Structure 1
Amino acid sequence: MDRDARDLTAAGAKPAAHFPPIVLNRAARRRPDARLRVVLLNAAGGRKFREILACLRRPPLRSADVILLCEVNTGVKRRPGRDLATDLAEALEMSCAYVREFGLRPPGKESEVASYMGNAILSAAPFEDVAAVSMHRPPTPMVWPRRMHHWSRVGAPTGLVTRVKFGGEELTVGVTHLHSRCTPVERARQMATYLESFPASGRAIFGGDLNTTTTELSSRALILATARQMIVNPGRFHAPEAYEPLFGHLREHGLEIEGVNVANRATFTFSGLIPRSMRPKLDWLAVRELRPIAGTAAVVAPRSPILMRRASDHDFVTVDLEL
């Protein structure tokens, strides 16, 4: 496995990423037509690997050229020493770039990292280069599952930026995962620091779980207030653009969300019992100098058609682009 770490920012502009990216390149896979299929998923740790892989092998996700993954774990008990991104890349015969954001340490074992959580890009073409991009760390603490409250962590918010060639054309591809509990202003600061390392021109694809909740969720009172808003004004959570200044940073960078996302369609559910009208839209794609093919933007539930069991609390987001 080849490892390549490179800080794309100017010296001293911000700290380098805590962990270097891990890169595994494979031979390019040719498409029969002049289009590019992009898929995004927050994999919720990837514990339901088989279900996620099955979804990626069925229409409309089948034969994806670029797969952007958030919240992918490595070192989990399912296959120690392996991670969801590497396993998916192997199964789909794609190249893989993975960056660890946080390492988790069990109580009483401060020198031992039991698992990592991070972001990944899978590509049908090999990567030209890969950079781990450190981002602003909001002051709002992150919330971990109750069983892990006494665990410690090491690392920092980190995204990926890479270059690939499809049909002889070079593209910048990036992925990141923004904070779920902080204010929209703090998320915008995260986006701004990420985009400092994202080229300002040329063809580009960007995506991630941007956690566009439109609110702060750092306390029980704020969570309850948000729940009331979801009942009174559900449209706010389906179309959060006016409440999340991070979208302004994307526009300033020439990255457009129109046409590559299904408008007003939720992408996250706390539970299947929650009505779709009350679910928020958290996961987004954006492109520059690439045209979406009409009718291909979709939100796809990550579940088995037989057992109907969800593989993640997030939905897949996908679109086909003209090359």
Structure 2
Amino acid sequence: MDRDVRDLTAAGAKPTPYFPPIVVNRAARRRPDARLRVVLLNAAGGRKVREILACLRRPPLQSADVILLCEVNTGMKRRPGRDLATELAEALEMSCAYAREFGLRPPGSESEIVSYMGNAILSAAPFEDVAAVAMHKPPTPMAWPMRMRRWSRVGTPTGLVTRAKFGGEELTVGLAHLHSRCTPAERGRQMATYLESFPAAGRAIFGGDLNTTTTELSSRALILATARQMLANPDRFRAPEGYEPLFDHLRERGLEIEGVNVANRATFTFSGLIPRSMRPKLDWLAVRELRPIAGTAAVVAPRSPILMRRASDHDFVMVDLEL
């Protein structure tokens, strides 16, 4: 295990991450074929980590080489002292890079941080470099569960940029989780500041919960207005590319979304009562100088085959790439 991986953001990058990345490296796990399986999930805090692990061990998600995880928390009460990202990595025998975005303090505490919110990359190859990348912080407040309204938090929106070798070839692998309630323009600024730390050339994979709602959701009135738009024009929420400037920033960096995502397929289920045609597409993969294998892009429900209960309100997004 290696927890002393160089932080590439140390050389004057602005804004700066509040917490350093946590890295655990393991020996490389080799595939029998010349392909790379990439899986993305917003883990909804990791409350159902066992169910998520079970999904990752079954077809079609099993044997993933890169797993991108948003909203993986640490220090949860039911698992005191456990890091859910490294717990998943240990179970899957993968390396892990974890970026803590926010530290949470309980009511009445001025210093003690008891849990963290963050994002992680799991890899079948050990990491050679890891960067915690701080992003633009929109002025729109984040949404917090009612039970945590009295908690205080420290930190800033933070993604990851890593580098590893697969099949002898060096790849950049990145992950970001963008703001869910701000305007599309503010999400575009978040993406732009993240990509300042993302290499401009070379083979690369990027993914994350980009919260491409196409709207601002900072007030009840705006949420109701969005609901009316979902009724009037539901297609925009499954094909948000024309409404979200962040996609322009990805293209400028040579990162392509075609072929690695299922077109017009929603990835978020905030209620089973909402028809599939009205659900939004929030989770995305993008690649550069890598070719997706035809027919492998998929959206997979994080559901137990026995009880049929969801492990997250987001779906898995996956694709196989040619190495």
Q: TM-score, normalised by structure 1?
A: 0.98
Counterpart amino acid of 1:153? R
Q: Which residue is equivalent to 2:203?
A: 203
Alignment of 1:256-295 (within 5 A): 256-295=256-295
Give 1:175 deviation, angstroms.
0.3
Give the conservation status (yes or no) of the 8 Å contact 1:68–1:121: yes
**Separation of aligned partners in 1, 2:112 and 2:9:** 30
Give 1:78 deviation, angstroms.
2.5
Query: SS state of the match for residue 117, structure 2?
Result: strand
**Separation of aligned partners in 1, 2:126 and 2:10:** 23
Give the conservation status (yes or no) of the 8 Å contact 1:140–1:218: yes
> After alignment, is 109-118 or 135-144 more displaced?
109-118
Counterpart amino acid of 1:4? V
1:111 aligns with 2:81: no
Counterpart amino acid of 2:317? V
Alignment of 1:222-233 (within 5 A): 222-233=222-233
Alpha-carbon RMSD: 1.0
Give 1:124 deviation, angstroms.
0.3
Give the conservation status (yes or no) of the 8 Å contact 2:41–2:68: yes
Give 1:15 deviation, angstroms.
3.0
Q: Which residue is equivalent to 1:8?
A: 9
> After alignment, is 2-11 or 129-138 more displaced?
2-11
**Separation of aligned partners in 1, 2:317 and 2:83:** 21
Q: Which residue is equivalent to 1:33?
A: 33
**Separation of aligned partners in 2, 1:78 and 1:199:** 39
Give 1:96 deviation, angstroms.
0.3
Counterpart amino acid of 1:142? M
Give 1:5 deviation, angstroms.
5.1
**Separation of aligned partners in 2, 1:156 and 1:81:** 22
Alignment of 1:302-321 (within 5 A): 302-321=302-321
Alignment of 1:138-287 (within 5 A): 138-287=138-287
Q: Which residue is equivalent to 2:56?
A: 56
**Separation of aligned partners in 2, 1:67 and 1:15:** 26
Give the conservation status (yes or no) of the 8 Å contact 1:103–1:115: yes
Give the conservation status (yes or no) of the 8 Å contact 2:36–2:322: yes
Give 1:142 deviation, angstroms.
0.5
Give 1:264 deviation, angstroms.
0.2
- Identical columns (%): 87
**Separation of aligned partners in 2, 1:15 and 1:236:** 32
Give the conservation status (yes or no) of the 8 Å contact 1:3–1:21: no
Give 1:268 deviation, angstroms.
0.3
Query: SS state of the match for residue 299, structure 2?
Result: strand
**Separation of aligned partners in 1, 2:98 and 2:6:** 11
Give 1:77 deviation, angstroms.
1.6
Report Cα offsets for 1:52-103 as digits up to 9, x if no partner. Answer: 0010011110000000000000001222111221111010000000010001
Give 1:9 deviation, angstroms.
7.3
Query: SS state of the match for residue 320, structure 2?
Result: strand
Alignment of 1:72-151 (within 5 A): 72-151=72-151
Give 1:111 deviation, angstroms.
1.2
Identify unmatched segments of 5+ residues in structure 2.
none
Q: TM-score, normalised by structure 2?
A: 0.98
Q: How many pairs align?
A: 322
Give 1:3 deviation, angstroms.
3.9
Give the conservation status (yes or no) of the 8 Å contact 2:213–2:237: yes
Name segments (4+ residues, structure 1) moved above 4 Å: none
Query: SS state of the match for residue 109, structure 1?
Result: coil
Query: SS state of the match for residue 8, structure 1?
Result: helix
Report Cα offsets for 1:274-314 as digits up to 9, x if no partner. Answer: 11111000000000000000000000000101100000000
Counterpart amino acid of 2:33? D
Counterpart amino acid of 2:132? A
Identify unmatched segments of 5+ residues in structure 1.
none
**Separation of aligned partners in 2, 1:92 and 1:265:** 28
